[in-house]
Homo-oligomer: A and B are copies of this chain.
Amino acid sequence: MSLSDRLLVRTCRREATDRTPIWFMRQAGRYLPEYRAVRAKASLLEICHDPSLATEVTLQPVRRFAIDAAIIFADILLPFEPLGLGLSFQAGEGPVIAKPIRTEEDVADLPDINAEADLGHILEALRLVRAELSDDIALIGFAGAPFTLASYAIEGGSSRNFVKTKQLMYRYPEVWNELLGRLAAIIGTYLAAQVRAGADVVQLFDSWVGALSPADYRRFVLPHSTRALELAGGAGAPTIHFGTGTTTLLEDMAGAGSDVIGVDWRIPLDEAWRIFPDRAIQGNLDPTLLFAGERAIRTQVAEILRQAGGRPGHIFNLGHGILPETPIANVQAMVDAVHEPPR
């Protein structure tokens, strides 16, 4: 089967298909016992550095569920390693960046990096996964978007209010633009390299961009996300552009040029689709609903499919990643509900 015949790819291109493709953000993760078994022996970064372990973990959810894509096991912050920012993950605390970016000098000191040389372990994992993956299953590559990556780099980790990030953005817009320009080039070429290594589709995660007003998004972020997507799209695979809390940004995000826009549960799918009718749409079940009973899950899946209205171009997904404590039976119930919608 050629790349362009896979269900997910055809849906990204808004071709008519006989069913709705399905995958989940963070589908390989802690809610799976087979993932926890690997993590008992290897840290997150060790898995990412070992293409055969990364391949194993990437394939786990595809073996378990009838889903239409594997997403390469990686972390959006991996480019921080060759950039020399001192990335680590502390139990219960999330990512820690030992050498955050705060000044013009910090930005100037960033080394040039090259995806083939510096993130080759991820590209190798993509090749291994593609070789093992059933022919009809798509392989998804991904990267963090310039704003979201910059927020981690500047804050030194996760953040609630993004004070340091916005402080740099508002006070030193030239430094900000220099940093986001560098990140956009890195991200865009990294995504293109993932396509060359076998990714059928690539997703740009701007998970935290919903912290911005539309005016700030247009001024400080849109040009850089546009550039990253342009570089990624040059490799020939469809692109997905995702964020949370983005209701007021969707029109501008569509302007960044991806084939697909991913939305969270805060906006009904049909309302979102009215904002960007010329793109495919991905979403949007609230991942916390997977802690409810099977009936509530089936009802909401049906509601999402009703909102999608059978139009070409809907990829079923959650509105954000699967949470670690999610019961597997409920993920299965969601998959079944998408495959067998009520008549």
Contacts and interface: CB of A to CB of B under 8 A. Distances in A.
Contacts of A271: 248
A32 to B, nearest CB: 17
Given A161-B288, A288-B162, A296 B170 contact: yes
Interface of A: 161-163, 166-167, 170-171, 210, 212-216, 245, 247-248, 265-268, 271, 286-289, 291-293, 296, 303, 323, 325
A286 B167 contact: no
10 nearest CB pairs, A to B: A170-B292, A166-B288, A167-B291, A247-B247, A213-B265, A248-B267, A170-B296, A163-B288, A245-B245, A248-B266
Given A213-B266, A303-B215, A291 B248 contact: no
Contacts of A267: 247-248
Contacts of A213: 265-266, 268, 286
A35 B215 CA distance: 34
Nearest to A170: B292
Number of copies: 2
A248 B325 CA distance: 28
Given A210-B266, A245-B266, A248-B271, A288 B323 contact: no
Nearest to A168: B291
Question: How would you classify the secondary structure of chain A's contact residues: helix, strand, loop or mixed?
Answer: helix
B167 A288 contact: yes
Given A161-B288, A213-B286, A303-B215, A170 B266 contact: no
Contacts of A289: 166, 170
A281 to B, nearest CB: 15
A50 to B, nearest CB: 29
A165 B154 CA distance: 31
Given A266-B245, A286-B166, A303-B215, A323 B161 contact: yes
A286 to B, nearest CB: 6
Given A167-B292, A216-B286, 5 more contacts: A161-B323, A170-B291, A210-B266, A214-B266, A214-B268
Contact of A166 (B170, B171, B291): B291
15 contacts: A161-B323, A163-B291, A163-B323, A166-B286, A166-B291, A167-B291, A170-B296, A171-B296, A213-B266, A213-B286, A214-B266, A245-B266, A247-B267, A248-B266, A248-B268
